[in-house]
């Protein structure tokens, strides 16, 4: 029996309100070459400094819906009033090659992936909810960003509270604290995940 042979990559879903540092956690792992980041499609406009194809594929609503109709998206959802979705081919190709894929997606998208009947997805899935220590702390962290106008900011705070209701649907919850602790615990989840028999 040879169990060292080819194994599948992990499909790592990271969710949680904006401002918890989940995107940073995901990007750090990818920057070390330990996983690839699934660049999502979105209809929201780019923020200053964001690059098309690196942060998101910025699409018109018409183009986005055409991709949905062609079956190109693995999951998609409307978040904060805009459409977001994951490209299916990129995810599947990497998982089959044994490469971990990180998806930074919302709770609706995560529910769609969990409900996916595909055996490959079921075997590879590893889901993590990154929880802010409190809503007050999240408000402080988010207000420091200044990327949004006041109305958009309040919408994000409301959505954050609603998203936090869903943490129990995830296999793992990481309550965000100091940056280094979060990174260490995030890596520990991924490392343990690699030893799952379902990936063999």
**Where does this chain bind ligand 5GP (CB under 6 A)?**
18, 40, 44, 75, 77, 79-80, 84-86, 104-106, 108-109
Token pair in block for residue 142: 């988010």
Burial code of 181-199, b = ≥16 C-beta within 10 A, e = fewer?
ebeebbeebbeebeeeeeb
CA angle 47, 162, 170 (to 5 degrees): 95
Q: Give 152 or 194: the residue with its C-beta nearer to ligand 5GP.
A: 152
Least CB distance to ligand 5GP at residue 184 (A): 22
Q: Cβ neighbours of residue 93 under 8 Å, at least 6 residues apart?
A: none
Largest CA distance in the chain: 60
Q: Which of 33, 44, 118 is nearest to 75 (CA)?
A: 118
Least CB distance to ligand 5GP at residue 85 (A): 5
Do residues 137 and 46 make contact, with C-beta atoms less than 8 angstroms apart?
no
Phi, psi of 47 (to 5 degrees): -85, 160
Least CB distance to ligand 5GP at residue 151 (A): 15
Q: Give 37 or 190: the residue with its C-beta nearer to ligand 5GP.
A: 37
Do residues 50 and 85 make contact, with C-beta atoms less than 8 angstroms apart?
no
Residue 55, SS3 per DSSP: coil
Token pair in block for residue 24: 């940073």
Least CB distance to ligand 5GP at residue 121 (A): 15
Q: Give 28 or 108: the residue with its C-beta nearer to ligand 5GP.
A: 108
Residue 77, SS3 per DSSP: strand
Least CB distance to ligand 5GP at residue 6 (A): 28
Q: Give 147 or 198: the residue with its C-beta nearer to ligand 5GP.
A: 147
Q: Give 57 or 199: the residue with its C-beta nearer to ligand 5GP.
A: 57
Q: Give 8 or 129: the residue with its C-beta nearer to ligand 5GP.
A: 129
- The residue behind tokens 């075997």 is 123
Least CB distance to ligand 5GP at residue 77 (A): 4
């Amino acid at each position: 029996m040879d169990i060292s042979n080819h194994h599948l990559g992990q499909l790592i879903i990271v969710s949680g309100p904006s401002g918890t540092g989940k995107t940073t956690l995901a990007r750090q792992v990818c920057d070390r070459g330990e996983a690839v980041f699934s660049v999502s499609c979105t209809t929201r406009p780019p923020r200053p400094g964001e690059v098309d194809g690196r942060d998101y594929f910025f699409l018109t609503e018409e183009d986005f819906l055409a991709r949905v109709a062609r079956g190109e998206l693995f999951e998609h959802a409307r978040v904060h009033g805009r459409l977001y979705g994951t490209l299916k081919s990129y995810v599947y190709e990497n998982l089959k090659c044994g490469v971990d894929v990180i998806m930074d997606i919302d709770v609706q998208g995560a529910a769609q992936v969990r409900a996916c009947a595909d055996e490959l997805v079921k075997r590879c899935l590893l889901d993590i909810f990154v929880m802010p220590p409190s809503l007050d702390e999240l408000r402080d962290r988010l207000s420091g960003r200044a990327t949004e106008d006041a109305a958009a900011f309040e919408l994000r705070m409301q959505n954050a509270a609603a998203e936090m209701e869903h943490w129990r649907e995830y296999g793992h919850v990481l309550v965000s604290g100091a940056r280094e602790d979060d990174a260490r615990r995030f890596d520990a989840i991924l490392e343990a995940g690699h030893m799952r028999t379902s990936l063999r």
